[in-house]
Amino acid sequence: MERTRAHLLEDIIFITIAAVICGADDWNDIENYGKAKLPWLSKYLKLPNGIPSHDTFNRFFSALDPKQMENAFLQWVSEVAKLSKGEVVSIDGKSLRATKSKDGKRIVHMVSAWASANKLSLGQVKVEEKSNEITAIPRLLEVLALSGCIVTIDAMGCQTDIAAKIKEKGADYILAVKGNQGRLEEDARRVVSRTVAASETTQSERGHGRVETRKCSVYYDLGLMETAGRWAGLGSVIKIESTRYVEATGKLEQETRLYISSLKQDADAMAGHIRAHWGIENSLHWVLDVAFGEDASRKRAGHAAHNYAILNRIALNLIKHEQSKKRSVKGKRLDAGWDNDYLLKILLN
């Protein structure tokens, strides 16, 4: 209703993003931040009726169409992130665990794309209820500019349609192989056991009381793969044999993982791409949980959880894009909360 409109959309969004950057985790935090920073915010915002209440923030983001938020996010990322040729773009899903309702249903699950070199979240889509990542991944691929990139996805995304979509977007793929694609895993095992690797490399690293060794073998001869024709541009099968030795216990862990790829690169390059995939876990999902408390967020009304997840990713991108301070994400959030000039630098970077 016209007579009840008290706040401007751009004011609400600006206050929210600034508050999230500075450590706010819920609507009450955002209201309190706005009131504490009112003199500073008044320099840049109209605020015709002061700072909105926490209920207003909640109602606004519960009603806001998350597709519009996603579109605005993608448009902004396309301006700040220039993906280089050969950059690894990892795609993976993450559940917002506290969004589960009392009956155990309606948990929010997001599929995100992460640029390894730029260290930026490129976009995300929500997995619809009664669906899964297999249907969400193509929707995410559709809106991303991926030409020249290498897309890595775990076994859930090892689907012929997804491989075809990646090639259609002018990118290459590395897909983890498990028993979810009929005879694909059997075919891949036949290749690595009966043909000679075109390239091999072994890498070792030591840290945190563990010694880990990874051997990467790449196979180009796919003549024994009966299913090869189903995969767009298939060029190789990759085998990763990892051994982890825990010094304190003497425990030895061994694992073999298989991948298919449209690339035909040597083992050093392939091993690097596969290692880069885990950046989405360490630099995005882990940070969202630890620094932003995303797993503990209990926002459930309307589109609130979905929109707040996008806000967290906007804040994380802005923080990571600001490079003048060599601080952790948590440290930069503290600095932004204390120093308005530094917050402005993050917002305008």
Residues 59 and 72 both lie in one domain: no
User: What is d(CA 190, CA 263) in angstroms, rounded to the nearest whole number?
Assistant: 19
Residues 80 and 10 both lie in one domain: no
Residues 21 and 128 both lie in one domain: no
Residues 53 and 73 both lie in one domain: no
Residues 59 and 82 both lie in one domain: no
Tell me the per-residue pLDDT of 111-121, one tens digit each, with 9 for 90 and over: 999 999 888 99
- Alpha helices by DSSP H, listed for 81-154, are 133-143
Tell me the per-residue pLDDT of 253-302, one tens digit each, with 9 for 90 and over: 899 999 999 999 999 999 999 999 988 998 999 999 888 887 766 565 66
Residues 212 and 102 both lie in one domain: yes
Residue 300 inside a domain? The answer is no
Residue 178 inside a domain? The answer is yes
Residues 97 and 30 both lie in one domain: no
Residue 47 inside a domain? The answer is yes
Residue 294 inside a domain? The answer is no
Amino acid, res. 243: T
Query: Which of 237, 253, 287 is at the close of a domain?
Result: 287
What is the model's pLDDT at position 179? Answer: 78
Residue 296 inside a domain? The answer is no
Tell me the per-residue pLDDT of 300-322, one tens digit each, with 9 for 90 and over: 566 888 899 899 999 999 999 89
Domain count, the chain: 2
CATH number at residue 93: 3.90.350.10
Biggest CA pair distance of the chain: 76
Phi and psi at residue 288, to the nearest 5°: -60, -35
Residue 298 inside a domain? The answer is no
Residues 51 and 169 both lie in one domain: no
Secondary element (H or E) of residue 29: helix 27-36
Counting as low any pLDDT under 70, the low residues of the chain are 1-4, 97-106, 129-131, 296-302
Secondary element (H or E) of residue 201: strand 199-207
Burial code (b: 16+ CB inside 10 Å, e: under 16) for 258-287 equals bbbbbbebebebbbebbbbbebbeebbbeb
Residues 90 and 142 both lie in one domain: yes
- Which structural domain, as residue segments, surrounds residue 17? 2-63+308-348
Determine contact, residues 29/11, Cβ cutoff 8 Å.
Answer: no
Residues 166 and 238 both lie in one domain: yes
What is the model's pLDDT at position 98? Answer: 55
Residues in Cβ contact with 175 at an 8 Å cutoff, skipping those fewer than 6 apart: 152, 153, 155, 157, 158, 162, 163, 259, 260, 261
Residues 79 and 199 both lie in one domain: yes
| Helices (H) then strands (E): counts for the chain | 14, 9
Residues 193 and 277 both lie in one domain: yes
Determine contact, residues 158/179, Cβ cutoff 8 Å.
Answer: no
